Amino acid sequence: MSAQPLRIGIHDISFATAHQVLDLSELAEHQGIDVNKYYVGIGQSEMSMPAADEDIVTMGAEAAGRIIDRHGAEGIRTLLFATESGIDQSKSAGVFVHGLLGMGENCRVVELKQACYSATAALQFALGIVARDPREKVLVIAADVARYALDSSGEPTQGAAAVAFLVTADPALVEIEPVTGLHTDDIHDFWRPNHLSTALVDGKYSLAAYLRSLEGAWTEYQARGGVAFDDIDRFCYHQPFTKMAVKAHDRLNTIAGSGLDRDARRAQIAASLDINRRTGNSYTASIYAGLLSLLNDDEADLEGSRIGFFSYGSGSVSEFFTGVVQPGYRALLRRDEDAALLDSRVAIGYARYRSLHEAVDEVRGEDVVTARETTGPFRFAGITDQMRRYERTR
Ligand code: CAA
């Protein structure tokens, strides 16, 4: 009798965001433009805005803390932290989280970077680790603060969030299937030189690059024996702004010759857009915030549904792959908690947003003590002796 193939995938997933929010009507009013350019044109309503004592570590620890609270840290021997908003050029942000969560010392911890793609690289590396030894559990944390210059066209597409997920054998949420399609192209559509805290972007070119990359990854996915378009029930895209996912899905329908009408195409992605519409871009976390948003949809029973994922990171690297939602997945969701995280954010006005944005560049490595502002469980307390200090708040 032949052995059953090993099933590996996402066993649990959780989310966190910054604890302040700017409604994009505030930005539109300051700019003197119609807010529907944002609400409708780019499909964004709000953006999460970190306080001075919040960053990728505090959000990442909060998201991962929910997973550790439920499953314990026992047996997690790898923590992969994916981000392009790194807080140190050498030490992984994951090591700070490992310390804050009191995880065991027999653990490898590393940070990964390739723009918004790196969480998918972390997922693929995690699948490999578990395939080699099914006892392994890998904690992946994707966290980013998306920042563009004030008064630039990228400004309404900022945001902040973290998603953590646990990769194991016999996953309870989503089994990840083995076939993938890849695409890499050495371009400058979006990038951030070391001396800048805000990204540089060639906006229109970045949209075209994203769509070209989708075609490249999908074509390779098909060539390597991936399932047909019609055998995929839902789709989940990297979402720099939610309209990008709509454009991408329309393009994929055209490439695949699906024949689906507009409503049918929208139904395949609609639920995946809800969280990102409210957090704003969270770079590498955004596709997994999209997955959580899709799973949280209480109007659909997704058991047995196949999800197609398109992960894009400027620069550029992308990947198309699929996963199958597992029976009983709904029992593991934290719908009310996730909704509360978004609803309980403190609304700020334009002036406060602008001063928080400007303050980021004032932290240059001198000793600093941050004001106690976050309502989250962890905070960035400041810098002493060139070292970042974090603490639990409760
Ligand atoms: N009511 C409704 N819609 C309106 C409107 C109104 N009053 N006014 C404008 N619109 C629509 C426009 O028609 C347009 O829609 P379409 O694209 O469907 O034609 C949409 O609103 C946006 O308008 P513009 O193109 O004029 O907007 P813009 O020039 O100010 O720039 C942007 C938009 C390029 C997305 C810019 O915000 C940007 O550069 N963002 C950062 C880059 C980015 O997110 N790139 C995505 C691909 S790269 C990637 O994915 C990696 C990553 O995370 C960054």
At 172-185, the pLDDT tens digits run 999 999 999 999 99
**Stated length of the chain:** 394
pLDDT at 1 over 60: no
Are residues 166 and 222 located together in one domain of the fold?
A: no
Which of 24, 27, 35, 42, when mutated, tests ligand 1's pocket best, judged by the most ligand atoms within 8 Å of its CB?
Answer: 42
Count CA within 13 A, CB hemisphere, residue 31: 18
The Cα 87–Cα 258 span in angstroms is: 44
Which residue reads 């996963």 in tokens? Answer: 323
Give domain status of residue 3, yes or no: no
Residues 211 and 154 in one domain: no
- The answer to whether residues 142 and 12 belong to one domain is yes
Residues 347 and 379 placed together within one structural domain of the fold? yes
CA dihedral 92, 94, 97, 103 (to 10 degrees): -120
Name 340's Cβ contacts closer than 8 Å, sequence gap at least 6: none
> What's residue 362's pLDDT?
78
Q: Is 33 in the pocket of ligand 1 (CB under 6 A)?
A: no
Task: Write the burial class of residue 314 (CB in 10 Å: 0-12 exposed, 13-18 middle, 19+ buried).
Answer: buried
Same domain (yes/no): 271, 212: yes
Does a structural domain hold residue 1? no
For the chain, how many structural domains are there in total? 2
pLDDT over 80 at 363, yes or no: no
Residue 240: CB within 6 Å of ligand 1?
yes
Same domain, 169 and 179: no
pLDDT band with cut points at 50, 70 and 90 for residue 30? very high
Active site residue 84: yes
Whether residue 278 sits in one domain with residue 186? yes
Last residue of a domain, which of 329, 350, 375? 329
Residue 337 CB less than 6 A away from ligand 1: no
Q: 310 and 232: one domain?
A: yes
pLDDT tens digits along 125-158:
999 999 999 999 999 999 999 999 999 999 999 9
Q: Are 60 and 141 in contact (CB under 8 A)?
A: yes
Per-residue pLDDT for 62 more than 90? yes
Q: Does a structural domain hold residue 371?
A: yes
For ligand 1, whether the C-beta of 300 sits within 6 Å is: no
Domain boundary among 278, 298, 329: 329
The answer to whether the predicted template modeling score (pTM) of the entire model surpasses 0.85 is yes
- Examine residue 286 and say whether the peptide bond preceding it is cis (omega within 30 degrees of 0): no
User: Residue 48: which domain range?
Assistant: 8-173+333-392
For residue 131, the CA-to-ligand 1 centroid distance in Å is 41
Q: Catalytic site residue 116?
A: yes
187 ligand 1 Cβ < 6 A:
no
pLDDT for 366 equals 84
Domain for residue 78, yes or no? yes
DSSP 372-389: ----SSEEEEEEETTEEE
Domain-embedded: residue 375:
yes
pLDDT at 2: 58
In a domain, 2, yes or no: no
- Residue 142 belongs to a domain: yes
In a domain, residue 308? The reply is: yes
pLDDT on residue 361: 83
Asked if residue 159 has pLDDT above 80, the reply is yes
Alpha-helical segments (H) within the chain: 24-31, 36, 56-71, 93-100, 118-132, 203-223, 242-256, 262-267, 274-279, 286-295, 335-343, 350-359
Which residue's CA is the nearest one to ligand 1's atom 9? 37
168 and 182 in one domain?
Answer: no
Q: What percent of the chain has pLDDT over 70?
A: 99
Ramachandran bin of 150, using left for φ above 0, alpha for ψ from -120 to 50, beta for the remaining angles? beta
Q: Is the CB of 280 under 6 A from ligand 1?
A: no
| pLDDT tens string 227-246 | 999 999 999 999 999 999 99
Rounded-to-integer distance, Cα 35 and Cα 303, Å: 38
- Stretch 211-223: mean pLDDT: 98
C-beta neighbour count of 33 within 10 angstroms: 12
Average pLDDT, the chain: 97
| 166 and 143 within one domain | yes
pLDDT of 294-344, one tens digit each?
999 999 999 999 999 999 999 999 999 999 999 999 999 999 999 999 999
Q: Residues 34, 168: one domain?
A: yes
Q: What is the pLDDT of residue 364?
A: 73
Decide if 238 is catalytic: yes
Q: Give, for ligand 1, the residue of 201, 288, 314 to mutate: max count of ligand atoms closer than 8 Å to Cβ.
A: 201
- Select from 377, 354, 312 the least CA-distant residue to 53: 377
Q: Are residues 145 and 266 in the same domain?
A: no
Specify the CATH number for the domain of residue 167: 3.40.47.10
Q: What would the pLDDT profile of 85-140 be if each residue is shown by its tens digit?
A: 999 999 999 999 999 999 999 999 999 999 999 999 999 999 999 999 999 999 99
Domain boundary among 329, 351, 367: 329
